[in-house]
Amino acid sequence: MKAAIITNLLNHSICPTILVEIGFVSNPMDRMRMTDSSQQIQIANAMSAAIDTYFLLLNQTLSKETSCKGSDLYD
């Protein structure tokens, strides 16, 4: 994908957007994996789990920062 198209997609979308590269269409093994429905489900599940983990860790970090503000450490 050309850089200008990617930039436009990421910067001008009305909803949060990510670009995930999972292989090369020019690579026969990658292409076979990307066109197999069971592999697509496995990739989607892995991406979903990674996003869930990110937000879980983010919330834990924010909770720790919020709970520490009243301690002597921040006074």
**Does residue 10 carry a pLDDT above 90?**
no
What is the DSSP annotation of 16-65?
---------TTSHHHHHHHH-HHHHHHHHHHHHHHHHHHHHHHHHHHHHH
**Does residue 75 carry a pLDDT above 80?**
no
Break the chain into its structural domains and give their ranges. Answer: 25-75
pLDDT digits (tens, 9 = 90+) for 13-66: 888 888 888 999 999 999 999 999 999 999 999 999 999 999 999 988 888 777
Where is pLDDT greater, at 72 or 3?
3
pLDDT reported for residue 57: 94
pTM score: 0.64
What's the Cα-to-Cα distance from 38 to each of 7, 21, 26, 44, 57, rounded to whole Å? 30, 18, 20, 10, 29
